[in-house]
Structure 1
């Protein structure tokens, strides 16, 4: 009365190959997510740099500051945001005021405004 029962299912090599494919796919998705996250961070920093440069020029115009060079760390740390504001006078009496913002990723945004 010994009957051979046929079992169905996955064998160990099949299960290991499936686990390997799943791991490789998951690793690829994690790397894609990291690259996407880094790109969003860089884009945010670029947008913030242009906004900060515009705000500093607006403040300079409203205050009428006479400082020729101003360098301020916007945040603390080894890789801080840097902001420099400089002005130069032209022959016509107008001033060219330049705001330069450098992000922690070394992106530079520079805006110049003529004030007469």
Structure 2
């Protein structure tokens, strides 16, 4: 053993320590990736919920003006308008919109036509 080796013993990590550190790092990264995936899915669901309510409102507005619902141009989305005649001038209209993640929004409104003299 040389004089230099006695003064400065060799320091570093052994193979088992390195493998353990690598294992802990990979488990941490997998946990973060899982968290990121669930966060992304949550944002996607939240966006679809907000869009579904907006689309249902637009369906009712379109029906009130044109007497027909608005055409949806989003793949995987569906919209349906149902109406129940309550009197000669009024009807109860319900707009139902379903998203690709199967979230359904439903809005209803009473629509009455103006009486013309």
TM over 0.5: yes
1:111 matched to which residue of 2? 107
CA distance in 2, matches of 1:72, 1:16: 58
Structure 2 unaligned blocks of 5 or more? 113-117
Measured after TM superposition, the shift of residue 3 of structure 1 is 1.7
Structure with larger Rg: 2
1:39 matched to which residue of 2? 42
2:94 matched to which residue of 1? 98
Q: TM-score, normalised by structure 2?
A: 0.83
Structure 1 unaligned blocks of 5 or more? none
Aligned length: 108
Contact 2:97 2:104 in 1 (8 A): yes
3-state secondary structure, aligned to 1:26: helix
Correspondence for 1:59 among 55, 58, 62: 62
2:83 matched to which residue of 1? 87
CA distance in 1, matches of 2:80, 2:60: 11
**1:32-57 deviation digits (Å, cap 9, x = unpaired):** 00000000000100000000000111
1:16-31 equivalent positions in 2, closer than 5 A: 16-31=19-34
Q: TM-score, normalised by structure 1?
A: 0.84
3-state secondary structure, aligned to 2:74: coil
Q: What's the RMSD between the two structures over aligned residues?
A: 1.9
